[in-house]
Chain A
Amino acid sequence: MSEPLVQIKGLKKYFTMETDLLGRPTAVLKAVDDVSFDIYKGEAFGLVGESGCGKTTIGKMLVNLYTPTSGSILFNGTDLTKLSDTKRREYCRDIQLIFQDPYASLNPRMTIGDIIAEPIRINKLMPSNEVEGRVNYLLNCVGLANHHRNRYPHEFSGGQRQRVGIARALAVQPKLIVCDEPVSALDVSIQAQVLNLLDDLKEEFGLTYLFIAHGLNVVKHISDRVGVMYLGKLMEIADKKELYQNPLNPYTQALLSAIPVTDVTHKKERIILKGDVPSPINPGQGCRFASRCFKEFEGCDKICPELSDVGGGHCVACRLYDKGQIKKDA
């Protein structure tokens, strides 16, 4: 495995929801709570979890839209959280974001050409007479034509808009692209096209992806390794194959069992979780999943399991696999 491009260590992001009269927080939303993982050069790291589990928050911290509460983000060995604002802006140029909703992510008052040219112009990446050629090149890369340059976003379909979003992200020649559910707002037929495009661009430009999604089937297509999140915590990280064949964390098992199967003769046992996702505001001490876990045993609601390697880069945060822990019903 190559060297890590991004190393996230103990990353936390808390949002203060309510304060008392003196401004002291009384309700804290722990969107991301002590998350650590690495993204290696040239890989696509998938991050899955249900809505509100903090995966987008991690993405936005990477691109400097949110400031972490604590923890560090090492990008190419530089800790982004310790840099000054101007320096950080410079470093963060190498990390770009593709947004979830292509209808909201393009400025309706700017032409497609301006949208793609803007990152090049403001960062002064090339002389102004070369910008147009570069924009045309980028448009062609994402499967759009040169004459689309003078048109406005409202004249395009969702899939085309997402292509524009991808071209904008590519414009600054980034090293890492955070794809924040880039296909979940698109039609299923378009999803495959955009996913294939992302796959091709990764090869062509030597990109690294942090691919955020809420379903394992999309991630299965594009990722090399997958991290599973639940309520601000990482539950499991493994190679894609390993994760799909041998899920260790009960949450991952439940998630995998929910993928629809096209083969009618094949009967799969589905794990139905009871209850709803608990509120991320002031969560308890123990495992976040304890209240819904079908393998919960004594102490799970008191002790928070650490993410630990069980061999071959397969990390899991569950007390079932703790060293010295007797596997009771696994």
Chain B
Amino acid sequence: MQNELDAVVNEQASEVVLEKPESQLKEMWFSLIANKGAVAGLVIILLLTLVAVFGRFIMPYDPNYSDMTISFQSPSAAHWFGTDQLGRDIFSRIIDGTHISLTVGISAVALSLTIGTILGAIAGYRGGKIDTVIMRIMDMMLAIPSILLAIAFMAALGKGIDKAVIAIGLVCIPEYARIVRGCILSVKENDYVQAARVVGNKDFRIVFKHILPNVLSSIVVRATLGISSAVLDTAALGFLGLGVQPPFAEWGDMLGRARGFIFSAPYTLIFPGIAITITVLAFNLLGDGLRDALDPKSRKI
């Protein structure tokens, strides 16, 4: 009886063994799409991306074409979101601005993530004096309000979309450096990292092959949330007249130039504002969803 039972158990065990292991990515994906907010965020981001790529084919007017005879038109069938002070179609300009906001947001995060990860990895893995020096510089950068620092960088670099990316990217470095360093410190002393050293791995490989993959989740979450704040920073710089220069349509710039007409023509502000809000919200929703999906502790079994 006992033997039979054992045989059954063994059979089941071997069946389980033969089953293909479910990849962690797949598991993560299922847990992500179970989260309604994350799905909403993901859908909006996909739509925004499509608009950014194919926007020129769906915009009804040339976003930079100005016709002073039709300035300050209320939203209508011809001009869905109305026209601005120079008679440009706001709907077309918002579509045009999607491309700029997403590009600046994502490339700024890519820049700060790259530099921040490298600095954080060196600080966290090496420790000691190098750690102190790097992290104190990061602290100094954090002590200055980020938008002020970005303005200072813009003042030094000059205006333009590429300069905006650099300014926002540089300002965000400390955030990533800190988070990467913290993550590395938490895994560095793990046995499997020591094991990697014992079998003869070089430091570089230990960091990138053994440490970072295990802390990737928190970095990805932070980067997704970081895109939303980068989009917001781009808008803020545009609002202050420092970011992307006219005639390019940029949401913050549109807000800034229209702010004098907030009472006479509110639609010139409302629609760019809504565009910024939706974009930021979408990245925040996705970031929160990713955090839940990547954190095994909150994952449902």
Partner of B194, one of A65, A93, A155: A65
- A96 and B198 contacting across the interface, CB-CB below 8 Å: yes
Cβ of B194: which chain A residues have Cβ within 8 Å of it?
60, 65, 97, 99, 105
Partner of B196, one of A107, A151, A172: A107
**Alpha-carbon gap, A168 to B199, bound state (A):** 8
From known contacts A107-B214, A109-B213, A147-B17, infer whether A63 and B190 are also in contact, taking CB-CB under 8 Å: no
**Alpha-carbon gap, A63 to B196, bound state (A):** 12
Interface membership of A231, Cβ < 8 A: no
- B200 and A123 contacting across the interface, CB-CB below 8 Å: yes
Number of residues of chain B lying within 8 A (CB) of chain A? 20
Interface membership of A64, Cβ < 8 A: yes
Cβ of B192: which chain A residues have Cβ within 8 Å of it?
104-108
- A172 and B200 contacting across the interface, CB-CB below 8 Å: yes
Cβ of A302: which chain B residues have Cβ within 8 Å of it?
none
From known contacts A99-B191, A147-B17, A152-B21, infer whether A107 and B199 are also in contact, taking CB-CB under 8 Å: no
Report how many A-B pairs have Cβ atoms within 8 Å: 70
Cβ of A96: which chain B residues have Cβ within 8 Å of it?
198-199
**Alpha-carbon gap, A168 to B194, bound state (A):** 13
- Which residue of B is nearest A152, CB measured? B21
Q: Does more than half of chain A's interface fall in helix, strand or loop, or is it mixed?
A: loop
- Which residue of B is nearest A180, CB measured? B191
Interface membership of A118, Cβ < 8 A: yes
Interface membership of A122, Cβ < 8 A: yes
Q: How far is the CB of B26 from chain A (nearest CB, A)?
A: 13
From known contacts A65-B194, A104-B190, A122-B205, infer whether A151 and B21 are also in contact, taking CB-CB under 8 Å: yes
Q: Residues on A close to B: CB < 8 A?
A: 60, 63-65, 89, 92-93, 96-97, 99-101, 104-109, 118-119, 122-123, 145, 147-148, 150-152, 155, 165, 168, 171-172
A-B contact pairs, 23 of them (CB 8 A): A92-B198, A93-B199, A104-B191, A104-B192, A105-B192, A105-B194, A105-B195, A107-B210, A107-B213, A108-B192, A109-B24, A109-B214, A122-B200, A122-B202, A122-B205, A123-B200, A145-B17, A147-B17, A151-B17, A151-B21, A152-B24, A168-B195, A172-B200
Q: Residues on B close to A: CB < 8 A?
A: 17-18, 21, 24, 190-192, 194-202, 205, 210, 213-214
